[in-house]
Chain A
Amino acid sequence: SQTIHQWPATLVQPVGSPLSLECTVEGTSNPNLYWYRQAAGRGLQLLFYSVGIGQISSEVPQNLSASRPQDRQFILSSKKLLLSDSGFYLCAWSVLRDSGEQYFGPGTRLTVT
């Protein structure tokens, strides 16, 4: 069966510091991968998605970037964090390109101080 991992689970970072969040999927190949952000008490905002290695599409212009160096690895990065970057970051995957079903990882709770 498929499993999705995210780390770290929680992170506290000062403003202006860099960020690297990692997501990996097991038990499948060539998944679509997604990064979402959820602000406290709010809905889910799609940040990036990827249909393959090195292929990244951005939905929201911001100081974040994403990369997919391997088939089942998706990384979210920032060079300088802002206070507004605080939130719950969720990675999601879908395996069937024509199904639409997405499954979320456990998330990383980021607090920027």
Chain B
Amino acid sequence: GENVEQHPSTLSVQEGDSAVIKCTYSDSASNYFPWYKQELGKRPQLIIDIRSNVGEKKDQRIAVTLNKTAKHFSLHITETQPEDSAVYFCAASIPGAGSYQLTFGKGTKLSVIP
């Protein structure tokens, strides 16, 4: 099955700096890569995703890049703000029979220091 590795496990940045979280996946058949943000005690929320036919996608201060050859994808957050502090999860998905099954990384705890 698919295996997703996520690094780093914790990340501290000064407010206004950029943050980068990296993930690698094992199965070349994976074609959908979402990122979720989970605040303490809350549900994970989808913040951005990318499909294998696209190399980069941007939404305001967040962007995701995908390198299919190397089988890795990254989340970039620019101009970080204290409200960006949360745990971020990457995932990879292989299309199945009518269903996508997401395999998640172990998460990165991002702390933005004011």
Q: Which residues of A are interface residues toward B (Cβ below 8 A)? A: 32, 42-46, 49, 51, 57, 59, 90, 94, 97-107
What class of interface size applies to chain B in its complex with A? 20 to 34
Query: In the complex, what distance in Å separates the CA atom of A42 from the CA atom of B44?
Result: 13
Contact between chains at B98 and A32 (CB < 8 Å): yes
Query: In the complex, what distance in Å separates the CA atom of A102 from the CA atom of B89?
Result: 13
B102: A residues at CB distance < 8 A: 44, 46, 100, 102
Query: In the complex, what distance in Å separates the CA atom of A105 from the CA atom of B44?
Result: 9
B55: A residues at CB distance < 8 A: none
Q: Which residues of B are interface residues toward A (Cβ below 8 A)? A: 32, 34, 36, 42-46, 49, 51, 89, 93, 95, 97-107
Contact between chains at A103 and B46 (CB < 8 Å): yes
Distance in angstroms from B83 CB to nearest chain A CB is: 19
Of the candidates B32, B43, B46, which one forms a contact with A106 in the assembled complex, judged by CB atoms under 8 Å apart? B43
A32: B residues at CB distance < 8 A: 98-100
A104: B residues at CB distance < 8 A: 36, 43-45
Contact between chains at A100 and B43 (CB < 8 Å): no
Distance in angstroms from A32 CB to nearest chain B CB is: 5
Contact between chains at B101 and A43 (CB < 8 Å): no
Contact between chains at A43 and B45 (CB < 8 Å): no
- The winner among A44, A90, A99 for most chain B CB atoms within 10 A is A44
Of the candidates A42, A51, A57, A100, which one forms a contact with B93 in the assembled complex, judged by CB atoms under 8 Å apart? A100
Q: A42-B106, A100-B32 are in contact. Are A59 and B101 (CB under 8 A)?
A: yes
Of the candidates A44, A51, A98, A101, which one forms a contact with B44 in the assembled complex, judged by CB atoms under 8 Å apart? A44
Contact between chains at B105 and A101 (CB < 8 Å): no
Q: Determine the residue in chain A with the shortest Cβ distance to B97.
A: A51
